[in-house]
Amino acid sequence: MNALAYNYLFLGVISLISVLVEIEDAKSKKIRNKLIVAGFLAGFLLFLAAYGFGIYNKFDYLVKVIINVAISFLAGFVIWRLGVWSAGDAKLFILFSFLLPLYYYQKTFLDYFPSFVLIINCFIAFLIFLIFKSFYFWFISAVDLLKNKKIRKEFLTGYVNEKKNKLIGSFKNKKVFLKMFFKISVGLLAYLILAKFLFKSGFQPKMFFLFFLIFFAINALIDFYISKYSKEKIKIEDLQIQMNLAAETILKLKENKIFLKNLGILRLEGLEEEQVDLIKKHLIECNILEIYIYKTSSFSLWLIIGTALTVLLKGSIVSLFISLI
């Protein structure tokens, strides 16, 4: 068996782990450590067999894999700490970085961190889905607004007030300001990359204005979807572990800094049992009987899709887009 054919065994392990992760995630909304450990063990045995039977005969390949996994560990940890994905998603990303053969990173950006392509592919796939989903719900809402004058007036008034308060709050709240600054920085970086590698041009005022117009329009669509359709109102007694509090609920909790300190860190994995009890007791004392939570959604599916895209493209979606242009 040659190395290329042996790669399919690694893909088989990735496929099996992916199916088991999604089944487990559908049941318990968790990625169990047993699955991650089993994946690493299977990968280790495959590497051991490959070198034992002479399928892989160069140790520099193993060194590249180890360096890639080490950097993937750091990247996964940082993204988790930023609250972008859960600890389980971070572990799954590290596992896929270990299992996916380097053959499938032919069109990579970074020689020592080829799994950066996995990050790009899973987030771009998720962003495309989110844009289309946001546009769909925006279109449905727009039709309803055009049909009903009363709803249109209430919506426009509420939307304008919300954006006004958000803008004022960005100058008062350090975290909100940093979030806005981060979005603008991401937009500027994306424009510079596109201008250099795709348009092969320097700064063009008209193109710059058009790009940011589209960028903020997409951002507004996503914000609209999140604020209107990705959260739900529940009674305080129905609050459970693994639920994620919506932004407005967290703002209410932040009014009491001592309570917030005792509550601890709110992780993307959701609330812990002790946190649920503390929140229930605190909000009932404040006579707040209903709160907003975000509808739970797992990022593991997008990691799997990103990995599948990497295998099919042997690189990133960005590389494909550049080659087409």
**Tens of pLDDT along 236-250?**
888 888 777 877 787
Q: Where are the alpha helices (DSSP H) in 194-256?
A: 205-229, 247-253
Reading the block at residue 38, the tokens are 């089993």
Mean pLDDT of 210-233: 69
Tens-place pLDDT, residues 139-190: 777 776 666 666 556 556 655 555 555 555 555 555 556 666 666 776 677 6
Most distant pair of Cα atoms in the chain: their distance: 74
Of 128 and 173, the one with more pLDDT: 128
Quick one: which of 255, 235, 243, 221 has its CA closest to 294?
243
Of 124 and 70, the one with more pLDDT: 70
* 300-313 and 3-28 helices, crossing angle to 10°: 160
Mean pLDDT of 40-63: 85
| CA 77 to the chain's CA centroid | 13
Reading the block at residue 33, the tokens are 């450590």
Average pLDDT of the residues of the chain: 78
CB 232: neighbour CB atoms within 10 A?
A: 11
Query: Tokens 């917030």 identify what position?
Result: 260
pLDDT band at 39 (very low <50, low <70, confident <90, very high): very high
DSSP 233: E
Percent of the chain having pLDDT more than 90?
Answer: 18
Cβ atoms of 215 and 187 closer than 8 Å: yes
Tens-place pLDDT, residues 68-105: 999 999 999 888 877 778 888 899 999 999 999 988 88
Q: Which of 35-39, 147-151, 313-317 has the lowest mean pLDDT?
A: 147-151
Q: What's the pTM value of the predicted model, to 2 decimals?
A: 0.73
Reading the block at residue 323, the tokens are 């080659």
Reading the block at residue 59, the tokens are 């140790």
Query: Tokens 């088989």 identify what position?
Result: 12
Alpha carbon distance, N-terminus to C-terminus of the chain: 38
DSSP H or E stretch at residue 293: strand 290-294
Give the start-to-end residue ranges of the domains of the chain.
1-160+190-230+297-325, 232-294
Mean pLDDT of 222-228: 65
Sheet holding 231-235: strands in order across? 231-235, 290-294, 244-245
